[in-house]
Structure 1
């Protein structure tokens, strides 16, 4: 109970502000200041949300999208970490791929979707590939930058002690870079979530993006907005879960900072 009170005290503005905006929106709709055909009131959207929730349509489409994100994100993150480590530690490889990566990295994921559909078809493979591409670059950049920022003294000490490549990687480089890598992973999951929606809007027969597109064609704006807000809520939940995972995995890093702070006069 005390923790809940402290949390509410610290985050009351984050709670009050959306409630005020929703109240203004609802009131404006009831006073006909907003055209309800194009922007239904929050009460109608909430009603439609519970209808879709209870009949299972919203959960079904969200789960399909989440599974696609999980598959593509795992592939993208794995490749991003592996390639990022190799590029960061090998100067010749850096020079070899600099121009190629410079061309490919700025290309938005949505531009790849028509190409992936031609190569892989409209089934799950093209969507998973689009998500993998989106998350790959975020993680790759974070890994490369994190390894470049590793304190050179640690690497020099490891070399003086004649540690092998595997030991230096696992005991020196990765522990030092994990906080930054997690930042890249969190950015990557955001990009992955946006990528799957883009893919589903273009070519899909299920998923939250497909639900939004189908409702748009039927001019069911309330369902479109339910889908849009569901994407945002799911994104917040995923972000919080990653923060919890990061906190547990990097607890040692937090303890170090706390010890350093306590030692300061």
Structure 2
């Protein structure tokens, strides 16, 4: 009888999961439909396509950008800058944070500097980035890395500080050295919070690259928005804005899916949605 009960339970859970997905999809469609309705009404009331174009104008701009392949080029340029900057932030922030959480002297020496620099927004670094790297990719790599660095660092640092002392004592008792402690104790124990930092950092990096491209690049979605703004092509500006939102949502969705693989116990927590 047990296999029958297990199969029935699994079927019930599967149906419940499908029902939740369909409900979420339905609410999303209603939300998007409401947004489009408000947009159409507002565009009709404004009556000026430069101030607020209607859906037809935006779709025509989208088709033109797809047809001349400029949208794809700008998307790839922005993604390249974000991914490289994000990767640089990860390889710098995670080791530094875990090392500082382990060595008290290093923590006392460097934490005041981090505390001083953290509140400075990435956009404030753009003038220096242009002076140091010009308006090529270097400045965008710097800005995106900087934007991702602090969320990743702070979460990894908090995760390292939260490592249970008995884990450290047990590892030392078994002969673990400092490198083993960092790699086999601190890193696994802090990984859930590190992952949280990665999700936040990627989002911050994505927003920062668009800001940097508005003033310090010659390609990318931010640059595309700026050029079409100057030409009063508001339809293309909105295409760029929507593209930024869609790609940001897709990146977040990908990280949530990966989280279910690398942190299954956290992703399946009953309070998570």
TM-score by length of 1: 0.89
Residue 103 of structure 1 is matched in structure 2 by 116
Residue 21 of structure 1 is matched in structure 2 by 35
Aligned counterpart for 2:241 among listed residues 215, 228, 233: 228
Q: Is residue 80 of structure 1 aligned with residue 89 of structure 2? A: no
Structure 1, unpaired ranges of 5+: 259-265
Q: Distance in 2 between matches of 1:166 and 1:12?
A: 50
- SS at structure 1 position matched to 2:50: coil
Q: Distance in 2 between matches of 1:219 and 1:97?
A: 48
Change over 3 Å in CA distance of 1:10–1:226 after alignment to 2:
closer
Q: Is residue 208 of structure 1 aligned with residue 242 of structure 2? A: no
Q: Is the 8 A contact 1:26 1:43 kept in 2?
A: no
TM-score by length of 2: 0.86
How many equivalent pairs are there? 256
Change over 3 Å in CA distance of 1:149–1:15 after alignment to 2:
farther
CA distances 1:122-156 after superposition (whole Å, capped 9, x unpaired): 21111111111111111111110011112222222
Q: Distance in 2 between matches of 1:146 and 1:180?
A: 5
- Once the two structures are overlaid, the 10-residue window that deviates more, 242-251 or 133-142, is 242-251
Structure 1 residue 99: deviation in Å?
A: 2.1
Residue 69 of structure 2 is matched in structure 1 by 56
- SS at structure 2 position matched to 1:106: coil
Q: Distance in 2 between matches of 1:183 and 1:244?
A: 13
Q: Is the 8 A contact 2:136 2:218 kept in 1?
A: no
Q: Distance in 2 between matches of 1:43 and 1:14?
A: 22
What is the RMSD of the two structures over their aligned residues, measured on CA atoms?
2.2
Q: Distance in 1 between matches of 2:109 and 2:231?
A: 51
Aligned counterpart for 1:43 among listed residues 40, 56, 68: 56
Divergent runs of 4+, >4 A: 1-6, 252-255
Change over 3 Å in CA distance of 1:76–1:224 after alignment to 2:
same
